[in-house]
Amino acid sequence: MEKPADADYPILDVIKRRWSPRAFGDRPVEPHKMRCLLEAARWAASSYNEQPWRFMVVRKSEEAAFEKALSCLVEANQAWARDAAVLLLTATKTTFAKNDKPNHVHQHDLGLAMANLSLQATAMGLFVHQMAGIDRDKVRAAYQVPDGYEPQTAAAIGYPGDPGSLSEDWMRDAEQAPRTRHPMPQFVFGETWEQPAPVLDA
Ligand SMILES: Cc1cc2nc3c(=O)[nH]c(=O)nc-3n(C[C@H](O)[C@H](O)[C@H](O)COP(=O)(O)O)c2cc1C
């Protein structure tokens, strides 16, 4: 299913076509494609090139590992993410390796890596649905995440499936719903907070 962004200005095709489905098909993700997604994440920019992201990746065929990852999601996410071919859990290193000082942008840089990964996925016919709805204490315990690192998010990855296969009405509705965004003046300011930026004027 396609849900291209109704963009006001021309944007890259992969940005337009990326969206977050909950219906995933049975088709496994080819390991080399998974490696391409992770390679795209690897080449994200990061503050001081710290690369604070860490990923735990499991495929559905790795049954016990997949169940463990799934069990770290909140129930509402488990309901649909169990059909994804791949589950990814993310964590970040919260300090800089070179001096142990706090890295105030570790989550920001994970976001950049996930954006790269998601767009690479789109270019390869794959879809990524990221999740904040996880049990972080459970991730820490299940994966023995050491001190100095924080569990952050999860993502379901796979080829698209049939929206009709989703178990709940709200999921089927959300799958068909148009994608929306705030208009730019709501978040692009000029000289002061909430002052329209002149660059947005025609
Ligand atoms: C960091 C992050 C956390 C999210 N958490 C969840 C989640 O726990 N469950 C869920 O169903 N969707 C989650 N989403 C998906 C968003 O709801 C979705 O990206 C947003 O509605 C925009 O839709 P689009 O990605 O299709 O453009 C999350 C997305 C991001 C980036």
- 1-38 pLDDT, tens digit per residue, is 899 999 999 999 999 999 999 999 999 999 999 999 99
AA letter at 71: S
Which residues have CB under 6 Å of ligand 1? 19-20, 77, 130-133, 153, 179
Q: For ligand 1, atom 30, which residue shows the shortest CA distance?
A: 130
pTM comes to: 0.98
Ligand 1 midpoint to CA 132 (Å): 8
pLDDT at 123: 98
Ligand 1 midpoint to CA 124 (Å): 20
pLDDT at 1: 87
Residue 202 has pLDDT above 80, yes or no: no
User: In this structure, are residues 72 and 139 in contact, taking their beta carbons and an 8 Å threshold?
Assistant: yes
Q: Is residue 192 part of a domain?
A: no
Average pLDDT of the segment spanning 110-114: 99
Residues 6+ apart with CB under 8 A from 178: 3, 6
pLDDT at 87: 98
Q: Is residue 25 part of a domain?
A: yes
Q: Is residue 62 part of a domain?
A: yes
Ligand 1 midpoint to CA 128 (Å): 10
Atom of ligand 1 nearest to the CA of 111: 1
**Residue 150 CB-half CA count within 13 A:** 12
User: In this structure, are residues 107 and 92 in contact, taking their beta carbons and an 8 Å threshold?
Assistant: yes
Q: Is residue 93 part of a domain?
A: yes
Ligand 1 midpoint to CA 129 (Å): 6
**Residue 128 CB-half CA count within 13 A:** 27
**Number of helices (H), then strands (E), in the chain:** 7, 4
Residue with tokens 């016919």: 125
Average pLDDT of the segment spanning 102-112: 99
Q: How many domains does the chain have?
A: 1
Which percentage of the chain shows pLDDT scores above 70? 100
pLDDT range class, residue 59, cuts 50, 70, 90? very high
What's the domain range around 68? 13-162
E strand residue ranges, 60-181: 86-93, 127-131, 149-158
Euclidean distance between CA atoms 120 and 38, whole angstroms? 9
The two structure tokens encoding residue 15: 């940005």
Euclidean distance between CA atoms 72 and 21, whole angstroms? 20
Q: Is residue 107 part of a domain?
A: yes
Atom of ligand 1 nearest to the CA of 114: 31
Euclidean distance between CA atoms 149 and 94, whole angstroms? 6
Atom of ligand 1 nearest to the CA of 21: 26
pLDDT at 2: 94
Coil, helix or strand at residue 65: helix
Q: Is residue 118 part of a domain?
A: yes
Euclidean distance between CA atoms 145 and 139, whole angstroms? 7
Q: Is residue 189 part of a domain?
A: no
**Residue 50: which of 107, 90, 117, 89 has the closest Cα?**
107
Ligand 1, residues 1, 131, 179: which to mutate, most atoms within 8 A of Cβ? 131
Residue 105 has pLDDT above 80, yes or no: yes
Kindly report the CATH number assigned to the domain that includes residue 32. Answer: 3.40.109.10
pLDDT in tens, 119-154: 999 999 999 999 999 999 999 999 999 999 999 999
Q: Is residue 76 part of a domain?
A: yes
Ligand 1, residues 14, 130, 153, 166: which to mutate, most atoms within 8 A of Cβ? 130
Atom of ligand 1 nearest to the CA of 5: 27
User: In this structure, are residues 165 and 83 in contact, taking their beta carbons and an 8 Å threshold?
Assistant: yes
Ligand 1 midpoint to CA 49 (Å): 27
